[in-house]
Amino acid sequence: MEHDIRDMGLADQGRKRIEWALREMPVLKGLMARFATQRPLAGLRIGGCLHITTETANLARTLKAGGAEVALCASNPLSTQDDVAAALVRDEGIPVFAVKGEDTERYYRHLEAIIAHRPQITLDDGADLVSRLHQRHADQLDEVIGGTEETTTGVVRLRAMARAGALRYPVVAVNDAYTKHLFDNRYGTGQSTLDGIIRATNILLAGKVFTVAGYGWCGRGIAMRARGLGARVVVTEVEPLRALEAAMDGFRVLPLAEAAHQADFIVTATGDKHVVDRRHFEVMKDGCVMANSGHFDVEIDIPALQALAVSRHRPRPYVDEYRLADGRTLRLLAEGRLVNLAAAEGHPAAVMDMSFANQALCVAHLAEHGAQLDNEVHAVPPHIDREVARLKLRGMGITIDSLTAAQQAYLDSWQEGT
């Protein structure tokens, strides 16, 4: 079996960590058992371009239990957990093409390996696979039944493709399920981003000025958790509604050019380009720590930072110190790539349980109905979202009330008033 991983000798450690994660993933575990009996994906070739983490390993096992032939590559050069890649190859017979720290050339070579697997269903996290297939392998598009997309940035790219009439197969926007973005983007990114920053720097957050650029689902999670650690949190936004929400949630809202003067930390989570640029580097405090949790490494203008710097050195893993001509030092974590996946382990399994239960159920949905769907970006069917919520509550041991017949009749009627 073809593969490209760092070291098969890491497989034992990977196996233990995959099992550890599964204990926090009761919903996916239940689906794995269901898929093993029902085999909804029998004979399907699935290609995934996802962060190669313990949680992704459990998603791949679930799809395989459902009868699929799965092959995986990384969706980010720095997010691969090499021990997990080794365990997937050795113990699950899943071809994996992913090495933590791979360069761009190898990253794209790995995407090509997944395309050579001739996927009938694609799983993306950032839309690199779907984009590459359309741009370089249009001859294969007729074989593809459909795809899923895990993250906000990927959904934005796919909507642009659909608008331009370029999308040639249906894609389900898993990110947009309530049981995905309300939890994964907020609580997952919130906790793991702080985890990444702390592991990389070990700097105390209490009392520090911590600026979050973007008050979307990720940004609000990061802001909430930074406040919980005692930081004085400032939010920057471009959307009036989101800025207002941040203000009423109790955060200071400022333009970034102003916030940059005071910030000890600046963390981006916008999905946008060059949010932190030269104007901001020029006024930042000595020692300011910058990190990104948005999908691509474009949120901090790294070429502009490099152009301003007179030297660079790496005092700790995942920390680059850029010395400027005026003597200030600015610190960039994880080369501006997703700090939570590069410097920590990505989202905790309990939250990926819901994201990947959505993925598994959406893949089964595509296997059954993909041929009838338009070549558009589709919402996750609401019954899937509700089922994931129901199963997660059960996994957490939480029961809720149900409507009485009289309440249901009341809610369905319009005649009763004051």
Ligand X SMILES: NC(=O)c1ccc[n+]([C@@H]2O[C@H](COP(=O)([O-])OP(=O)(O)OC[C@H]3O[C@@H](n4cnc5c(N)ncnc54)[C@H](O)[C@@H]3O)[C@@H](O)[C@H]2O)c1
Q: How many residues bind ligand X (CB under 6 A)?
A: 29
76 touches 100 (CB < 8 A): no
* Selected range binding ligand X among 55-63, 114-122, 145-153, 377-385, rule: CB under 6 A: 145-153
* Selected range binding ligand X among 16-24, 163-171, 208-216, 369-377, rule: CB under 6 A: 208-216
| Residue 213 makes contact with ligand X by CB under 6 A | yes
Residues 288-347 binding ligand X (CB under 6 A) are 293-295, 338, 340-341
| Count of beta carbons in the 10 Å neighbourhood of residue 139 | 8
| Residue 74 makes contact with ligand X by CB under 6 A | no
- Estimate to the nearest angstrom the gap between the alpha carbon of 63 and the chain centroid: 19
98 touches 80 (CB < 8 A): yes
For ligand X, the closer CB: 66 or 271: 271
| Residue 191 makes contact with ligand X by CB under 6 A | no
Q: What is the C-alpha separation between 407 and 233, in angstroms, rounded?
A: 43
Question: Which of residues 217, 265, 318, 322 is near ligand X by CB under 6 A?
Answer: 217
Query: Buried (b) or exposed (e) across 165-195, using 16+ Cβ within 10 A?
Result: eebebbbbbbbbbebbbebbbbbbbbbbbbb
| Residue 368 makes contact with ligand X by CB under 6 A | no
* Selected range binding ligand X among 5-13, 207-215, 374-382, 400-408, rule: CB under 6 A: 207-215
Q: What would the x/- binding string for ligand X be over residues 219 to 238, using CB under 6 A?
A: x----------------xxx
157 touches 151 (CB < 8 A): no
In order, the DSSP letters of 152-213 are HHHHHHHHHHHHTT---S-EEEGGGSHHHIIIIIIIIHHHHHHHHHHHHH----TT-EEEEE
Q: How many residues does the chain have?
A: 418
| Residue 239 makes contact with ligand X by CB under 6 A | yes
For ligand X, the closer CB: 66 or 196: 196
| Residue 185 makes contact with ligand X by CB under 6 A | yes
Closest separation in Å from C-beta 189 to ligand X? 5
Closest separation in Å from C-beta 385 to ligand X? 16
For ligand X, the closer CB: 93 or 101: 101
Q: What is the C-alpha separation between 208 and 210, in angstroms, rounded?
A: 6
Residue number, nearest CB to ligand X: 216
| Residue 247 makes contact with ligand X by CB under 6 A | no
Q: What would the x/- binding string for ligand X be over residues 257 to 286, using CB under 6 A?
A: ------------xxxx--x-----------
406 conformational bin, left if phi > 0, alpha if psi -120 to 50, beta if neither: alpha
Question: Which of residues 80, 131, 189, 201 is near ligand X by CB under 6 A?
Answer: 189
Helical ranges in 264-403 per DSSP H: 278-281, 302-308, 339-342, 349-369, 382-395
Q: What are the residues binding ligand X (CB under 6 A)?
A: 151-153, 181, 185, 189, 213-219, 236-239, 242, 269-272, 275, 293-295, 338, 340-341
